[in-house]
């Protein structure tokens, strides 16, 4: 008689004990898997960059029409306001070098120049800035000033005798004078009459729209930083150590104005009624009629200034910061 097979059944308690003993290993395994294969996604809300920050320096201003203002400065920064400086928008540029000057033909077309001979142009109000090709020196190339004139004409000056001209809203440039070991700091035109000022008090003028230039005797050896004419005959040039030169014959000759300050003067303009120049340590000199005066723009403000432009009843200031002077009160943009 054959033996019957014995049927064995696992006890429910055996499965329970096995599951309990395996649980720690399953937990450890899942943690290891998560550590290597599961990546946590962290959501960080983007912090909007303010258009103007405390660290910004702005060297140039352009006010092509009422309400529209451009400012250009350190590390390729360009900002624009369409409401006379109440609000500002940052504009993206393709460079990170300091932009020394900006000028505009209208609300759409503008040009900025700066270190390394870089020239930027826009044809859509600054929505897009593009770099323009320009003649370069093998020695030094910083461009320090650009000015715009009708029919798309622009002039830019800088190191190594750079005097550049454009006739197509800044898209292309050519040399107007040969390269030389001396910097020009400003250029200004009234019609066909033009003037250059630069290092060591040097002055040149043109009577044919910049086709030819002639050296003019200067009564000062101090570097001249800015020049402006209120008409074809009457002009001022200002510069280092408070230098002020005056001309009443179209720049053929110049006389020294008795010193009003020892601070460097960086920009001069005619506002339709009086001459004004600004410079280091917040200084401003003014002339109304035959009377000259020197004072600080604002008491206790020692900011250096590179340009001042009237905007309505206010004065917009570039330099150590971007600021607005309104009835004696100074507002520095980007400051609480």
Which DSSP string do the residues of 172-238 spell out, in sequence order? S-EESS---SS-EEEEEEETTEEEEEEGGG-EEEESSTTSS-EEE--S--SPEEEEEESSSS-EEEE
pTM: 0.86
pLDDT on residue 323:
97
Domains in the chain: ranges and CATH: 58-332 (2.130.10.10)
CA 232 to chain centroid, in Å, comes to 29
Q: Give me the sign of the Cα torsion angle 76, 189, 227, 267.
A: negative
Q: What is the pLDDT along the chain (336 residues), one digit of tens a residue?
A: 444 444 444 445 544 454 445 555 555 555 555 555 555 555 555 567 789 999 999 999 999 999 999 999 999 999 999 999 999 999 999 999 999 999 999 999 999 999 999 999 999 999 999 999 999 999 999 999 999 999 999 999 999 999 999 999 999 999 999 999 999 999 999 999 999 999 999 999 999 999 999 999 999 999 999 999 999 999 999 999 999 999 999 999 999 999 999 999 999 999 999 999 999 999 999 998 788 999 999 998 999 999 999 998 899 999 999 999 998 899 999 987
143-169 core/surface letters (b: 16 or more CB in 10 A; e: else) = bbbbbbbeeebbbbbbbbbbbbbbeeb
pLDDT on residue 145:
98
pLDDT on residue 269:
97
116's torsion region: left (phi>0), alpha (psi -120 to 50) or beta?
left
pLDDT on residue 313:
87
For residues 157 and 187, the answer to whether their CB atoms sit within 8 Å is yes
pLDDT on residue 196:
98
pLDDT on residue 26:
54
Helix (H, G, I), strand (E, B) or coil at 8: coil
**What span, in angstroms and rounded, lies between the C-alpha atoms of 307 and 62?**
10
Helix (H, G, I), strand (E, B) or coil at 15: helix
């Amino acid at each position: 008689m054959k033996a019957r097979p014995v049927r064995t059944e696992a006890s429910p308690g055996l499965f329970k004990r096995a599951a309990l003993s395996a649980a720690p290993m399953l937990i450890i395994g899942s943690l290891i898997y998560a550590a290597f294969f599961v990546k946590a996604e962290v959501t960080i809300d983007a912090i909007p960059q303010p258009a103007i920050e405390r660290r910004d320096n702005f060297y140039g201003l352009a006010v092509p029409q009422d309400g529209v203002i451009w400012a250009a400065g350190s590390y390729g920064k360009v900002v624009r306001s369409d409401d006379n400086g109440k609000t500002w928008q940052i504009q993206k540029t393709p460079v990170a070098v300091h932009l020394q000057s900006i000028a505009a033909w209208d609300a759409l077309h503008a040009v900025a120049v700066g270190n390394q001979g870089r020239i930027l142009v826009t044809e859509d109000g600054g929505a897009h800035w593009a770099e323009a090709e320009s003649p370069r020196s093998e020695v030094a190339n910083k461009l320090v000033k650009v000015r715009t004139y009708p029919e798309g004409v622009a002039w830019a000056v800088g190191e190594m005798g750079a005097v550049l001209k454009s006739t197509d809203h800044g898209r292309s440039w050519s040399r107007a004078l040969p390269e030389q070991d001396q910097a020009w700091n400003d250029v200004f035109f009234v019609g066909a009459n033009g003037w250059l000022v630069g290092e060591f008090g040097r002055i040149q003028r043109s009577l044919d729209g910049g086709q030819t230039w002639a050296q003019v005797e200067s009564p000062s050896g101090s570097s001249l930083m800015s020049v402006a004419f209120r008409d074809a005959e009457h002009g001022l040039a200002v510069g280092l150590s408070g230098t002020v030169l005056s001309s009443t014959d179209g720049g053929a000759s110049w006389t020294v104005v008795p010193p009003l300050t020892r601070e460097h003067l960086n920009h001069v303009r005619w506002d339709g009624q009086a001459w004004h120049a600004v410079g280091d340590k917040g200084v401003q000199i003014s002339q109304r009629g035959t009377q000259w005066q020197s004072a600080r723009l604002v008491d206790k403000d020692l900011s250096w200034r590179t340009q001042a432009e009237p905007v309505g009843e206010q004065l917009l200031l570039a330099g150590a910061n971007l600021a607005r002077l309104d009835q004696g009160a100074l507002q520095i943009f980007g400051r609480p």
